[in-house]
C-alpha cells in the first residue's frame, strides 16, 4: 500500500464532495482529464485509497467485544452508540458508517470503465488489467454497501427487498434511487465476470498487492456466492482460488506472521484495514470469543490477543498499517469447507477444515481435533466450521456479516450501567441509511 502515497499529489480529477441536492454529492472542480495509461493508473490508485475502512465499526456491533468502561473519553464518544446499536439516536460525536466513501471509489472506477480503454502510452494488456480492476472495485463497493444497508440476500425476497443505489455512470443529474437487493447482486456478478475477463495479473508484488488480481477476483466470487448460499458456485470459486494460491501461515513456526498482515504468505489482496488503534483501545475481547479457543493448544490465542495485565485481553491483529487484508487463503479454505458440508460432501469439508487447523494448532491437539470432528453429522460439522470462522477471522470485518447471514442471534452489550440487547432477527442487523445521505437524496426514502 506504500505505493499509494506517491500518487497522492497527482491531481487528475479533483472532486469536491460537499452537500448538494445531487445524491452522490459529486462536483468536478478544475477537472484535468486523464489521457495516458499512467494517468488512468493514478486515478485507479486514488480509487483504491478512498476505499472506506469499516471493519472497526462493524466489529463493535458483534459478539467479539466488550467495551472498556475506562476507555478514553473521545473513544467512548466515537464508539459507544455503535456498540449499543443506537442507530436511530446516535450522539453527534459518534463516528458515521461509510456511505460517500463507497461512492467516491465507485466514481473513480466508473470513469476508468467509461474512458480507460482509450488510454495512450500503455500496452493493451496494461489497459485491460486496469479496466478489469475498475470493474472489480465497483463490484466490491456495491457488494459491501448492500451488505451493510440492506437485508441479507434471500432468494425468495431479494427481488423485492430494498437495496442501495446502483452507480454505473457519471451523471450528476441522475435519479439515484435504491435498487433491489437482487439488482445490486446482479450488477456485482456482472462486474465480476467482466472484470475477470480483462485481468491478466495473478499476483502483484508487495507494495502493490492492494490491487485486484485474477486470484482476488475469484476470491470475491467465492464470497459473493457464499453470501447467497449458492454452495456449488462458492465451492467452485474457492477451489479455483486455492489452485492459484493455497499457502497458509504455520503458527507452529516462530517466524510466522499474523495471517492478516499485508505481507503474510496467505494474503491475496491487502486493501482494507483491520481494527484501528482507537477501536482496539476501546474494547476487550469478549468472554464469548475467548471461550471458543483452547488457550493452551490453539496457537492463535497468543498470536491474536494479549493479556493487558488485569486478566482482560486486547486485540493484537490491528492498530498498525501492516494489518491490511481484503482476502486471504484461510477464508477460502473455510468457504470450501462450509460449501462442501452444505453439499453433503462431508469428507471434503473435514479435509479443508483440517488443512487450516494443522497450521493453527499444536500437533498433539490437532490430532485430537481430527478425531473429534471425524464422526460429526452435517449439522455438527457446519456448526464447527462457523465456529472456526469465528476463531480464525476475528476482528477482520467478517463476523458481523456471518451473524447476518446465519442465525442473527441475540447479543447483549453492557456499558457501565447501560444494557442494550440486539434481539434475534433484530431489524438493527441492517444499518439504516445515514441521515446525511437521506437529507441530500430524498429518493432514498422511496
Average pLDDT of the residues in 333-356: 98
Dump strand ranges (E) for 308-353.
313-315, 327-328
Residue 274 is predicted with a pLDDT of 87
DSSP 211-224: S--HHHHHHHHHHH
Same domain for 39 and 92 = no
Nearest C-alpha neighbor of 326 from the set 252, 273, 378: 273
On whether the CB atoms of residues 340 and 346 are closer than 8 A, the answer is: yes
The 10s digit of each residue's pLDDT in 123-171 is: 999 999 999 999 999 999 999 999 999 999 999 999 999 999 999 998 7
Average pLDDT of the residues in 40-55: 94
216 is a domain residue: no
How many domains are there within the chain?
Answer: 2
Residue 392 is predicted with a pLDDT of 98
Average pLDDT of the residues in 235-259: 98
Residue with the larger pLDDT of the pair 338 and 174: 338
pTM of the model: 0.93
Same domain for 67 and 48 = no
| Pairwise CA distance, residues 418 & 426, whole Å | 19
127 is a domain residue: yes
Same domain for 104 and 76 = no
Confidence of residue 446 (pLDDT cuts 50, 70, 90): confident
CATH value at residue 155: 1.25.40.390
Same domain for 386 and 403 = yes
Point out the domain boundary residue: 144, 178, 200: 200
Residue 176 is predicted with a pLDDT of 87
On whether the CB atoms of residues 169 and 114 are closer than 8 A, the answer is: yes
Amino acid at each position: 500500500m506504500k505505493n499509494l502515497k506517491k500518487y497522492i499529489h497527482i491531481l487528475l480529477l479533483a472532486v469536491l464532495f460537499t452537500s448538494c441536492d445531487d445524491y452522490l454529492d459529486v462536483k468536478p472542480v478544475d477537472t484535468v482529464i486523464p489521457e495516458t495509461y499512467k494517468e488512468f493508473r493514478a486515478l485507479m490508485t486514488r480509487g483504491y485509497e478512498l476505499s472506506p475502512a469499516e471493519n472497526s465499526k462493524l466489529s463493535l456491533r458483534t459478539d467479539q467485544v466488550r467495551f472498556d468502561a475506562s476507555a478514553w473519553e473521545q473513544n467512548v464518544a466515537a464508539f459507544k452508540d455503535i456498540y449499543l446499536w443506537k442507530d436511530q439516536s446516535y450522539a453527534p460525536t459518534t463516528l458515521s458508517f461509510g456511505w460517500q466513501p463507497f461512492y467516491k471509489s465507485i466514481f473513480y472506477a466508473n470513469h476508468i470503465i467509461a474512458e480507460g480503454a482509450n488510454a495512450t502510452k500503455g500496452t493493451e494488456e496494461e489497459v485491460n488489467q486496469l479496466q478489469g480492476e475498475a470493474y472489480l472495485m465497483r463490484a466490491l463497493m456495491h457488494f459491501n454497501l448492500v451488505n451493510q444497508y440492506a437485508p441479507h440476500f434471500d432468494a425468495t425476497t431479494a427481488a423485492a427487498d430494498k437495496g442501495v443505489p446502483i452507480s454505473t455512470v457519471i451523471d450528476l443529474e441522475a435519479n439515484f434511487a435504491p435498487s433491489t437487493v437482487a439488482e445490486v447482486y446482479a450488477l456485482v456478478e456482472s462486474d465480476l465476470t467482466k472484470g475477470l475477463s480483462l485481468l491478466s495479473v495473478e499476483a502483484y508484488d508487495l507494495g502493490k498487492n492492494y490491487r485486484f488480481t485474477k486470484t482476488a477476483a475469484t476470491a470475491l466470487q467465492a464470497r459473493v456466492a457464499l453470501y447467497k448460499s449458492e454452495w456449488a458456485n462458492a465451492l467452485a470459486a474457492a477451489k479455483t482460488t486455492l489452485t492459484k494460491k493455497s499457502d497458509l501461515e504455520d503458527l507452529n513456526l516462530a517466524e510466522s506472521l499474523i495471517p492478516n498482515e499485508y505481507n503474510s504468505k496467505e494474503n491475496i489482496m491487502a486493501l482494507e484495514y483491520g481494527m484501528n488503534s482507537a477501536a482496539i483501545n476501546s474494547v476487550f475481547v469478549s468472554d464469548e470469543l475467548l471461550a471458543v479457543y483452547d488457550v493452551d493448544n490453539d496457537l492463535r490465542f497468543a498470536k491474536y490477543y494479549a493479556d493487558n495485565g488485569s486478566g482482560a485481553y486486547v486485540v493484537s491483529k490491528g492498530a498498525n498499517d501492516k494489518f491490511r487484508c481484503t482476502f486471504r487463503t484461510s477464508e477460502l479454505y473455510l468457504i470450501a469447507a462450509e460449501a462442501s458440508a452444505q453439499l453433503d460432501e462431508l469428507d471434503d469439508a473435514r479435509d479443508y477444515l483440517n488443512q487450516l487447523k494443522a497450521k493453527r494448532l499444536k500437533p498433539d491437539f490437532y490430532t485430537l481435533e481430527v478425531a473429534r470432528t471425524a464422526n460429526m453429522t452435517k449439522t455438527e460439522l457446519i456448526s464447527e466450521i462457523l465456529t472456526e470462522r469465528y476463531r480464525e477471522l476475528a476482528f477482520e470485518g467478517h463476523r458481523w456479516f456471518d451473524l447476518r447471514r446465519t442465525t442473527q442471534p441475540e447479543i447483549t452489550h453492557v456499558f457501565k450501567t447501560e444494557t442494550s440487547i440486539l434481539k434475534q432477527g433484530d431489524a438493527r442487523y441492517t444499518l439504516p441509511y445515514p441521515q446525511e445521505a437521506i437529507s441530500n437524496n430524498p429518493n432514498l426514502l422511496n
